[in-house]
Amino acid sequence: MDDTSRVGSAKGYADLQDHVAALEAAGLVHRITEPVNKDTEMHALVRWQYRGGIPEHNRKAFLFTNVTDSKGRKYDMPVIVGALAGSREIYRMGLNVPKDQIGAIWQKALENPVPPVVVDKAVCQEVVIEGTDLIGVGKGLDALPVPISTPGFDSAPYITAGNFVTRDPDNGIQNMGTYRGGLKASNRMVVRMATRNGGAGGYPHWEKYKALGQKMPCAVVLGCPPSVAYTGPQKVTRDVDELAVAGGLAGAPIRIVKCRTVDLMVPADSEIIIEGLIDTTQLEPEAPFGESHGHISLEDFNMIFEVTCITHRKKPMFASIISQVTPSESSSIKRDAYEQMFLAHVVKTLGIRSCKRVVMHEPLTNLRRVIFLVMQQGTPRTEVWRALQGTAMLRADCGKYVIAVNEDIDPDNTDAVFWSMAYRSNPSQDVQILKYRDGGHGPKGGAHSFDGTMLIDATLKGKSAPLALPKKEYMEHAKEMWERLQLPPLTPEAPWHGYSLGDWNEEWDDMAKVATRGDYMENGKRSEGLRRSGLKPNTPFRRDGSTPEPSNND
């Protein structure tokens, strides 16, 4: 289990290349040695892993060692795609914890950040490129094997695994966020920092530098220890340094070094650092680019990043994240951390302990819009509603649809969710629609800039009759038989056996046992003795005299 930390133990944590080596040793890397065009082939190839019916647990990272481009150029630098969160197993290895500890390590890191330590010498500064060496074809940014993510739609190669470091000019606290950077020239890119509520932490810094009449120093960390990469997309409270949270995740302080041309500190054990100044007087059109909400972002004015210096390791590896339509690496890299943030809010801040899990729906919808709360059966309805409302309100851009279900419903199984909505909620009582939600993260256009919220309580409200599948022991026995008969392989789907939902008693249980014993006639004698006259057919029979709620359901 300590695979990655052992490899990078001198630092106390793994850097990107240590992590990739650990992934490869675990059989989690497809090493592609044949020439692959970064402009047309690379991301399209990896995309098949997410659109080709490959189960989540079989997903791997892709290491391209023979990278070319549409101009016929060859790059020495290998490109790695999917090494941060290509699958949950890859993400777990990056965190160096068992899967069931992922939530706990995030809670620990957020509650106990470990401040970074400053070092003088850093591998990320072994090679320094400055001045005229940044200008011209094949130099500066143009020397990096930056792939095109969505060939046919994107207007440029884009940096997708870049962590953009900026500093608040008022309090000196650094922010680090994963933002996209579209290449424009060998020494210029345009960066998109979301200005919406709950958007990029770098944007308020830009506003402050603008008010000061100064350019904003910025450094892009490209390829870094996984613990650092995982904090870039995380929503950390403003004014908490993400590198300290990364230290909490790594269990050791992150070693940082001062940039050469800007007054910023960056992780020393990184692959590549791009230093620069962001203009605060002018903006430049950026995109089209395929976004993580699964649509193409159309052209907007965004921030101009003028490169002042590029530093890198002697033999760096270029990291790229596959994003766009979800599931993708960019949704998987956020999912656990975001779910933990919501769970902590509901359980710790709101004190609703009967909320057992928060699940953010990932395929196609991209986490933010559809959120499930898994509530213990029997939670008072008022508490279910407090949890629904609290979840919808925590962040401006998350929780357009919030749905509460019980623990026997797997929110990742859409059939089970519809089942729960179909039988456990009454739309006239258990649904609320709230007005005035921010448009959030989504495609531009139409009337989508102003949105609403729908809350659904799809939990059981009282007792219900059991699920009509054979009891567990019969299904287990039948499965053994199925396998003995060498019938086609099974992939059990929950629910695969019946269980009580409250409206069930010992007498009925005994009758079922009698029937399975072959003595159904005994049950016939029992009911013969219970005959009554003067009743309408379909009148419920209960031995204890209770009267179930009238219904036309059967």
Ligand X SMILES: Cc1cc2nc3c(=O)[nH]c(=O)nc-3n(C[C@H](O)[C@H](O)[C@H](O)COP(=O)(O)O)c2cc1C
Taking the complex as a whole, how short is the minimal distance between the CB of residue 261 and ligand X, in angstroms? 22
Judged by CB under 6 A, which of 87, 96, 227, 323 binds ligand X? 323
Please enumerate in sequence order all residues whose Cβ is within 8 A of that of 17, keeping only pairs 6 or more positions apart, or say none: 271, 317
Judged by CB under 6 A, which of 36, 102, 123, 200 binds ligand X? 200
Taking the complex as a whole, how short is the minimal distance between the CB of residue 125 and ligand X, in angstroms? 24
Judged by CB under 6 A, which of 32, 122, 159, 193 binds ligand X? 193
Contact call for residue 17 and ligand X (CB under 6 A)? no
Cβ(27)–Cβ(44) below 8 Å = no
Please enumerate in sequence order all residues whose Cβ is within 8 A of that of 276, keeping only pairs 6 or more positions apart, or say none: 217, 218, 219, 220, 262, 305, 306, 307, 308, 309
Contact call for residue 360 and ligand X (CB under 6 A)? no
Taking the complex as a whole, how short is the minimal distance between the CB of residue 319 and ligand X, in angstroms? 11
User: Residue 4 or residue 178: which is nearer to ligand X going by CB?
Assistant: 178
Judged by CB under 6 A, which of 194, 393, 396, 511 binds ligand X? 194
Contact call for residue 235 and ligand X (CB under 6 A)? yes
Contact call for residue 201 and ligand X (CB under 6 A)? yes
What's the distance, CA 229 to chain centroid?
13
SS3 222: strand
* Backbone dihedral angles phi then psi of residue 222, each to the nearest 5 degrees: -120, 105
User: Residue 223 or residue 403: which is nearer to ligand X going by CB?
Assistant: 223
User: Residue 37 or residue 160: which is nearer to ligand X going by CB?
Assistant: 160
Contact region with ligand X (CB under 6 A), list: 189-197, 369-377, 407-415, 503-511: 189-197
User: Residue 243 or residue 358: which is nearer to ligand X going by CB?
Assistant: 243
User: Residue 333 or residue 387: which is nearer to ligand X going by CB?
Assistant: 333
Judged by CB under 6 A, which of 179, 206, 230, 372 binds ligand X? 179
Closest among 197, 191, 203 to 439, alpha carbons compared: 197
Contact call for residue 240 and ligand X (CB under 6 A)? no
Judged by CB under 6 A, which of 43, 59, 60, 192 binds ligand X? 192
Counted residue by residue, the chain has a size of 554
User: Residue 319 or residue 455: which is nearer to ligand X going by CB?
Assistant: 319
Question: Which stretch of DSSP H or E encloses residue 289?
Answer: strand 289-290
Contact region with ligand X (CB under 6 A), list: 190-198, 205-213, 304-312, 531-539: 190-198
Taking the complex as a whole, how short is the minimal distance between the CB of residue 162 and ligand X, in angstroms? 8
User: Residue 235 or residue 260: which is nearer to ligand X going by CB?
Assistant: 235
Distance of alpha carbon 98 from alpha carbon 102, whole angstroms:
7
Residue type present at position 67: V
Contact call for residue 160 and ligand X (CB under 6 A)? yes
Task: Measure the CA angle with vertex 201, ends 148 and 287; round to 5°.
Answer: 25
Question: Which stretch of DSSP H or E encloses residue 227?
Answer: helix 226-231
Judged by CB under 6 A, which of 180, 255, 335, 395 binds ligand X? 180
User: Residue 4 or residue 175: which is nearer to ligand X going by CB?
Assistant: 175
Judged by CB under 6 A, which of 4, 175, 340, 354 binds ligand X? 175
Contact call for residue 202 and ligand X (CB under 6 A)? yes
Cα dist from 393 to 143, 439, 442, whole Å: 45, 14, 18
Closest among 462, 478, 479, 466 to 511, alpha carbons compared: 466
Cβ(310)–Cβ(349) below 8 Å = no
Cα dist from 428 to 375, 389, 418, 423, 431, whole Å: 21, 18, 17, 13, 7
Neighbours of 102 (CB within 10 A): 18
Taking the complex as a whole, how short is the minimal distance between the CB of residue 163 and ligand X, in angstroms? 8
Contact call for residue 116 and ligand X (CB under 6 A)? no
Contact region with ligand X (CB under 6 A), list: 89-97, 113-121, 227-235, 474-482: 227-235
Q: Are strands 450-457 and 355-360 parallel, antiparallel or unpaired?
A: unpaired
Closest among 305, 295, 274, 293 to 192, alpha carbons compared: 305
Contact call for residue 226 and ligand X (CB under 6 A)? no
- For residue 434, what are the β-bridge partners? 453
Task: Name the residue with tokens 């892709």.
Answer: 62
Q: Which of residues 271-310 bind ligand X (CB under 6 A)?
A: 292
User: Residue 202 or residue 390: which is nearer to ligand X going by CB?
Assistant: 202
Contact call for residue 232 and ligand X (CB under 6 A)? yes
User: Residue 44 or residue 512: which is nearer to ligand X going by CB?
Assistant: 44
Judged by CB under 6 A, which of 157, 177, 247, 399 binds ligand X? 177
Task: Outline where DSSP puts E strands in 102-247.
Answer: 117-118, 127-130, 158-159, 162-167, 174-178, 180-185, 188-192, 216-222
Contact region with ligand X (CB under 6 A), list: 8-16, 130-138, 329-337, 537-545: 329-337
Closest among 428, 441, 460 to 399, alpha carbons compared: 441
User: Residue 233 or residue 390: which is nearer to ligand X going by CB?
Assistant: 233
Residues in touch with ligand X (CB under 6 A): 160, 175, 177-180, 192-194, 199-202, 232-235, 292, 321, 323, 330, 333-334
